[in-house]
Amino acid sequence: MGRGIAVLAALTVSVFVVGTSEYLISGLLPQVAADLGVTVAAAGQAVTGYALGVVIGGPLVTVLTVRLPRKGVAIGLLLLFAAGNAICAAAGSYELLLAGRVVASLSHAAFLTIALLLTTRTVPAERAGTAIAAIASGFAVATLLGVPVGVLLGERAGWRVPFAVLAALALAAALLLAAVLPRYDAPDARVRDELRTVTRRPVLLIIAMTSLGMAAVSTVFTYLATALGEITGFTPTAVSVLLLVYGGGSLAGGLIAGRAADRSAAAAVRGTFAGLAVVLALVPAALGWRLPAVAAVLAFGLLASATTPVLQSLMLRRAGGAPTLAVSVNVCAFNIGIAAGSALGGGLVASGGLRWLGFAASGLSLAALAVTFAAVPRRATAPAPRGDGVRALQS
């Protein structure tokens, strides 16, 4: 039991480090642009480059490492992540910064995939959803704490310092995993088994659900601070506090959803998307008054983060004996949904629709809810099996 807790703690810390990197540079763009002699818009491509590296490189790295022992791959991916951030910290040119971001991004989806699979290996099958939620909380804490602290550090000590700190933290996390992770044999699944699994209809439907669900969240969240300031009239300080409220709700919502997924995967995913659709539809009205706006932000945070554990738990259930690539592609689907939602929201804002983003996002959540009825059997309530194939892939 103690060894299992240590493994979960080490994986959560590692996910926190990796999760902090994705959005850290967003708050440092003016400094980066001024130092490297590029425009802020050009510097922003470092965010795009990272996202593309996750979406394209994640499945590729997963396929290349699918037959290797999980412990060695996990440590190797953290070392790759550390190297990418070290390149960013030392970058003397815009091109080198982009290269470092891409190198770091290649480990993102593959590492999260391994973390999720090792997590399900560590706990009993009936607690898989709760354990996945605990790992996912590393990302919630990264958004809530890691990114703001990193930006503050960059403002005080220079934009390179946070990347150097991330590289050092990744090395420390690699050492921690080396100390606590058990040694497992390489998985038995072949690459063609993984490819066959990821093209199965139930798996593709879950990937579609993930993209739609995250697009719904991102459509509103990307412009939430702007809406709270311009429409509700909150001060910048109050908006920052509300974003902390959102982050706290996200942390709690993910953990609650993980326990719900252990009881009934079908009910958890449908309840999440139905609740999210209702809350998002109420956001335009709630923005008109401060107290309802605070309640909407909290409810939004609770439901937005609930999507992660329920969708990944579903993927592990539906992918059968070869889930590694399917989980990796689903991680990429989160990023695709975030990008699509941000683009949709941006288009609506440009057309004067800042207040009405919730209606579009609610429609996306309803679309995800509709897909659940095709993807998830009504009786899909039992915990994920722990057959030989699953055990092999979790190792």
Burial of 76 (C-beta count, 10 Å sphere; 0-12/13-18/19+): middle
For position 256, what pLDDT does the model report? 85
With b meaning 16 or more CB within 10 Å and e meaning fewer, what string describes 55-65? Answer: bebbbebbbeb
Task: Return the H-helix or E-strand segment holding 163.
Answer: helix 160-180
Average pLDDT over residues 282-303: 94
DSSP sequence for 300-342: HHHHHHHHHHHHHHHHHHHSTT--HHHHHHHHHHHHHHHHHHH
Contact between 106 and 61 under an 8 Å Cβ cutoff? The reply is yes
Contact between 99 and 209 under an 8 Å Cβ cutoff? The reply is no
For position 395, what pLDDT does the model report? 34
Please state whether the predicted TM-score (pTM) of the whole model is above 0.95: no
Average pLDDT over residues 352-373: 94
Alpha-carbon gap, residue 249 to 269, rounded angstroms: 18
What are the tens digits of pLDDT across the range 125-184? 667 677 777 777 777 777 777 777 887 888 888 899 999 999 999 999 999 999 988 886
Alpha-carbon gap, residue 60 to 98, rounded angstroms: 19
Could you give the dihedral angle defined by the CA atoms of residues 181, 184, 186 and 187, in that order, rounded to the nearest 10 degrees? -100
pLDDT grade, residue 96 (50/70/90)? very high
pLDDT grade, residue 189 (50/70/90)? low
Residues 6+ apart with CB under 8 A from 15: 111, 112, 115, 135, 136, 138, 139, 142
Please give the share of the chain, as a percent, with pLDDT higher than 90: 32
Q: Angle formed by the axes of helices 236-263 and 128-141, to 10°? A: 170
Mean predicted lDDT score pLDDT of the chain? 84
pLDDT grade, residue 52 (50/70/90)? confident
Residue 380 has pLDDT above 90, yes or no: no
pLDDT grade, residue 377 (50/70/90)? low
Kindly list the structural domains of the chain, giving each domain's residue range(s) and its CATH number in brackets, ordered by start.
2-180 (1.20.1250.20), 191-382 (1.20.1250.20)
Amino acid at 132: I
Nearest to 380 by CA among 273, 255, 263: 263
Q: How far does the chain reach from its first CA to its final CA, in angstroms? A: 18
Residue 388 has pLDDT above 50, yes or no: no
Residues 6+ apart with CB under 8 A from 197: 203, 319, 320, 321, 322, 323, 325, 326
Contact between 389 and 320 under an 8 Å Cβ cutoff? The reply is yes
Nearest to 288 by CA among 360, 356, 359, 342: 356
Could you give the dihedral angle defined by the CA atoms of residues 7, 12, 16 and 17, in that order, rounded to the nearest 10 degrees? 10
How big is the chain by its Cα radius of gyration, in Å? 20
Average pLDDT over residues 216-234: 89
Q: Higher-confidence residue: 317 or 171?
A: 171
For position 209, what pLDDT does the model report? 93
Task: Return the H-helix or E-strand segment holding 213.
Answer: helix 201-221
Q: Higher-confidence residue: 7 or 88?
A: 88
Residues 6+ apart with CB under 8 A from 368: 208, 209, 212, 213, 216, 273
Which tokens sit at 256? 């609650």
